[in-house]
Amino acid sequence: MRTRPLKVALLGCGVVGSEVARIMTTHADDLAARIGAPVELAGVAVRRPGKVREGIDPALVTTDATALVKRGDIDVVVEVIGGIEPARTLITTAFEHGASVVSANKALLAQDGAALHAAAEENGKDLYYEAAVAGAIPLIRPLRESLAGDKVNRVLGIVNGTTNFILDKMDSTGAGYQEALDEATALGYAEADPTADVEGFDAAAKAAILAGIAFHTRVRLDDVYREGMTEVTAADFASAKEMGCTIKLLAICERAADGASVTARVHPAMIPLSHPLASVRGAYNAVFVESDAAGQLMFYGPGAGGSPTASAVLGDLVAVCRNRLSGATGPGESAYAALPVSPMGDVVTRYHISLDVADKPGVLAQVATVFAEHGVSIDTVRQQGKDGEASLVVVTHRASDAALNGTVEALRSLDTVRGVASIMRVEGE
């Protein structure tokens, strides 16, 4: 074993960063044995230097992150500060000054992953980011290494624990959205401002990363269709149960049937109770991968939190340190396929549409005619009503999003249709 330690700079010492530092200290001997050399925490960049950080030598703490990554003797920079800047500049500066990088920054990777990979390659360094998607769940490395010889056709997953907790609570207790959100906040699963989670921004960033790796194509955050879950109601769950389904906020990355394009999207969807993702409860994450040779694979576990995320960071740290010792680098960006990313209008799936209609003869025939005129085939219809008002629930066969949108606009123009109560996609079949 080499006795000279590999030096690690830690950018950020919050929930995840402090746990990374703790594990590096308490598991130092094991990490050294697995890597082939000791690892030394050489500096910790923070915004508030006066805060007491248990287990971290105050002499290592600095507010000058730029100076830390420019030192020249740093082997690996671990970036867990999040956001776009200054993280982007610090990472590229680290590459330029001889360090490889381990990051958990999903937003930055989804927006500028191609540029970061290019900077890493130009400087002959590693960029690893297992912790950016689904916390402790091994997912990035299986996709870009274990399945590198296979053809991945679809990645379907629950990649945000906050939203899964809320939807699971609505499903299991009949609670409304706000009530479930309040409980998630009280238990620490939701931030004071939950917008990034409940509006799908967090999941969309992860979908961009997954799609890029799975399909060997550059997929940016702007390429991902995003729809939040704040409009999901108890009535939607009641309808889902009648269909033998539940509702999840899903990240869906798909290769087109002809293989000529890909799509990436995040939105609430009904999935059959028989699908493995339907049983994912609480704040857990799970990702379902479908490929030609391996078939169907599912990855499941805690998708957030200090210890789970730190576990993924440390796994990357070990891999990068091993590469440093051998003088090699691991896999970089694979974007050779360069497939176009199709718009949401081209996506084909099933739909569940709930309409408020007049309770009188001929309404169903009018509605069915509109669907037929727009080329959307109906699978099932359920109608209930009294006192002149009724609800009409239509479940379609597979149709494009554009065709469905045209159908809904035409339905709204009918005198007998009072309103469109809800529209939800049906996935996982």
Q: Which residues are catalytic?
A: 206
Q: 414-418 — which CB contacts under 8 Å span 24+ positions?
A: 414/366, 414/367, 414/370, 415/358, 416/357, 416/358, 416/360, 416/362, 416/363, 416/366, 416/367, 417/355, 417/356, 417/357, 417/358, 417/367, 418/355, 418/356, 418/357, 418/358, 418/389
114 burial level (CB within 10 Å; 0-12, 13-18, 19+) = middle
Rounded to an integer, what distance in angstroms lies between the CA atom of residue 232 and that of residue 228?
9
**In 47-175, which ranges are E strands?**
61-62, 76-79, 100-103, 127-128, 152-158
73 burial level (CB within 10 Å; 0-12, 13-18, 19+) = exposed
* 311 contact partners, CB below 8 Å, separation of at least 6: 23, 135, 136
Neighbours of 271 (CB within 10 A): 23
Amino acid of residue 147: L
Q: Token digits for 371?
A: 């669907």
Helix (H) / strand (E) element for 353: namely: strand 348-358
Contact 277, 158 (CB under 8 A): yes
Which of 324, 272, 300, 360 is closest to 158 using CA atoms?
300
Rounded to an integer, what distance in angstroms lies between the CA atom of residue 278 and that of residue 270?
9
> DSSP string covering 223-239, please?
GSEE--STT--HHHHHH
1-39 as b/e: b if 16+ CB within 10 A = eeeebbbbbbbbbeebbbbbbbbbeeeeeebbeebebbb
239 burial level (CB within 10 Å; 0-12, 13-18, 19+) = buried
